[in-house]
Structures are given as structure tokens and as C-alpha cells.
Amino acid sequence: MKHQFGLWLIVSLMSIFGVVLVSFHFHQYEQIELSSKLKNKRPLELGQTQIVKDPKTEFKIALNDPALVQAWGLKKSSAELAWTVSLGNRKITVAVIDTGCDVNHEDLKGNIVPGWNFVSNNSDVTDNHGHGTHVAGIIGAVAGNKKGVAGVAPNVSIMCLKYFDPLVPRTDNLKNTIAAISYAIDKKVDIINYSGGGTEFSELEKAAIERARKAGILFVAAAGNERSNSDKYHYYPADYGLDNIISVTAIDKETEVLPSSNYGIETVDLAAPGHNIISTLPNNTYGFLTGTSQATPFVTGAAVLLKALRPSITAQDIKKHIINTGDLVASLNGKTRTSRQLNLYKVLTVVDSDVTASGLAMNPEKNIRYSSEDFSAEQTSVAGTASDPQVSLFHLSENLGEALKNHMGPKLPRKAGLEN
């Protein structure tokens, strides 16, 4: 089994390995592979204010987060239009089963609720890797605070459930995953995001997700980074075939499925942005990561937006809306069930050809006041951290990455294919 995830580098770690870099930076992530020889040791898969009104609610959102200009995935999935309809609701809780989260991150802490660490069996969900913090930010980074980025659903409650820690060896990740799912059920969360998985079928894991199904919980799962057809070579939990699971693969700016991403017309439901996605990292930093792990939280965010608009909607209807309202794209033929990519605005407005879910007109431009600078403008430097208000985009050299990984030794995984 293998799983791809990003190597995160911050100054505190660099001092351990004798590497010196100046200041904090946005980090370019590499995909690296974690192999396991032990059964059930599942590895990690790894501005200007605008006022918008609908018939019921007036939304106010300031698109002043500096890294939004780097967030191509939000633009591609029509997030700005979607935010004219729904910003989410903090009454909706998403369980992020991952490596933990930086609960004190400047762009997350307003949306974090208490979680649990299933590795150490305590309430400390400190993220010693970065993957979970990155996923949480894609779902629900705070918007309009002039810091970092914005999540797909800026108003949401995120419960970080930690099942993996690279600093703790010999951990049964699959067992921790099952415990985390049960915990999420007990806490009555609305949605579970699982940006991970493996090739091993688990009856216990499937049963846990079936219990989540009976509790009305939507389960959004990564299709996996095995470079394979999931119809033939299954990847779990995405491929358990339950009607509350959405399996998500990753696309780039050109709407091509990434070479590393799994696909399948029977097993993969939808495609979403997953290449060089910018999001939050531990210690008030931000960076990029690539993979189905990043595509998955885009869809989770969409589910939050829709449930905020229609609180009584079922997990099955959320799934139906999301996968059937995406944009049809020829390049996705043979890659997913529907040949569609996520469109956040259509998720919220399209019920059928004649009726909208929100009552809003399908052309909302009259409700939007755009800033003079377009949302997709280029930017070479952004305000990123409290300690360094003006930091430039930083691309980690492969040689430096290799040197660090050699120093890290066997506790951290070796390199896998890097998607560019």
C-alpha cells in the first residue's frame, strides 16, 4: 500500500536537520510515498467588499485574503459566484480525519471545534505533518480577514480527528480511522472528510461508514493516488460502494485528471481541483500540495454550502446534487461516472432545468460588485505571516527536499512521483 502526501518544512524543523533558510515562506510541496509492510497499517494519502443579496439573506464577504489570487481552484469551481448564495454555517460540523490540525492557525481557529487524537489517545490534535491543516484550510479557512486564503465554506465548524502522526512509529492507522469514524458518529457531525486510504478492504471500516450512513452523515473520500483504474484495482474507503460516499479525483487547471490520480467510470464520482492547491500549514504559514487529498475537501466544502442552504437535505441528496450539477468536460470521459468537474455555484442553484434551489436567478452578476482587480490577477508576493508581513512565493528545490528526507531517516516516507 502507498499514499502520497506533502512534505512540509518550517523553520523549527529546519534547525533539527541543520538546514538554514531565511524567514517563513509559502512552501512548494512534493508528493512522497509512505510504504507499509504491516497489515492494517494504512498509510497517509498523502480586495474589496462586495454586498450580495438573495430573497432571504444578505451576505457580506470581503475578498481581501492576499493568497486568493493564487487559489486557482476556487476560481475554476466558481466559488465567488457560489458565495453569493451560501457561505456555509457554523452549525454544520465537518470531521477531518487526517494528521490533525493547527488549531491556533490565524486562518482556521475561528472555525475549529474540539477534536481527538487517536494516535496518542488525548485531545491534542497538533499536526506534526501539515497534511491535515492543509485539508482543513481548503474546506474552511476564514474569509475576509486579510490573512492567507479562504476556504470553500468560510463558515463551518471543523473537528480535527487525528489518525496518523509521522513522529509516532508502529501506529495502526486503519484501526485509528475506524475509531475516528465512530467518534464522529457519536458527536453527530454532518460530514466526514477522509483524504486518505489504501488498497486493503476492511469489513470493519465499511461497517463504520455504514453506521455513519444510518446516522445521515456524508462521507467524502479521496479516490487515491495510485495511478490506476479504480474499477479494476479498488481503493478504500472511496470504493466501498455506499450511497453516502463521494469518491473524488483530482484535476489540473486544464481539467485533465492528474497522472497520479485514480479514475473509474464505476467507482469515481467527480473531479475537483487538486494540483498545486494553496492552503494553510502549521505555524501560520501557507503552501501548495497536489493530489486527490486536495480535491476531496473542495467537494466537502460544496456539501457544507449546500447543507447551509437546505438544512434538512439528506446525505444522498447532497451527493446527487454535487455529482449531477458539475460541468460536463470531454477530457473527463472515461474518468468518472458523470464526466463532470465540480461547479460550486451550480450545486447551490440547479435542481433541474427549470427550478433553482435558492430562488436566485441563474445569472447573478447584477448582485455582485467586483473590485477593480480581477480575482485571477497575478501576484508575486503576498502577506503571509505575523512575523513576516510580506513574503514571496517559495519553491522548494528537489535537492533540498532530498537532503532533508535523507536526514529524516526511516520515520518519514521516501519520495514518490512529483506532479507538475
Strand segments (E) across 214-372: 218-222, 245-251, 270-273, 277-281, 285-289, 327-328, 340-341
The verdict on whether 25 is a catalytic residue reads: no
Residue 411 placed within a domain? no
> What is residue 111's predicted lDDT score, i.e. its pLDDT?
98
What are φ and ψ of residue 142, in 5° steps? -65, 140
The verdict on whether 78 is a catalytic residue reads: no
> Domain containing 281: what range?
46-379
The verdict on whether 293 is a catalytic residue reads: yes
For the entire predicted model, the pTM comes to 0.76
Instruction: Given the residues 25, 27, 98, 275, select the one marked as catalytic.
Output: 98
Instruction: Given the residues 77, 293, 339, 358, select the one marked as catalytic.
Output: 293
H-helix segments, 273-411: 292-309, 315-324, 344-349, 398-408
Residue 257 placed within a domain? yes
Average pLDDT by stretches of 10, the chain with 420 residues = 38 27 32 32 42 39 84 95 95 98 97 98 97 98 93 97 94 96 98 96 98 98 96 97 98 97 97 97 96 98 97 96 96 96 95 41 33 28 29 27 28 26
Measured distance CA(417)–CA(411) in Å, rounded: 19
Angle in degrees, CA 353, 82, 381, rounded to 5? 145
> What is residue 63's predicted lDDT score, i.e. its pLDDT?
82
Residue 389 placed within a domain? no
Instruction: Given the residues 105, 131, 234, 275, select the one marked as catalytic.
Output: 131
Residue 396 placed within a domain? no
> What is residue 51's predicted lDDT score, i.e. its pLDDT?
28
**357 in Cβ contact with 348 (< 8 Å):** yes
Residue 15 placed within a domain? no
Residue 398 placed within a domain? no
> What is residue 130's predicted lDDT score, i.e. its pLDDT?
96
Measured distance CA(332)–CA(182) in Å, rounded: 35
Number of domains in the chain: 1
Neighbours of 66 (CB within 10 A): 20
> What is residue 41's predicted lDDT score, i.e. its pLDDT?
53
CATH code of the domain in which 304 resides: 3.40.50.200
Residue 200 placed within a domain? yes
Residue 197 placed within a domain? yes
> What is residue 351's predicted lDDT score, i.e. its pLDDT?
60
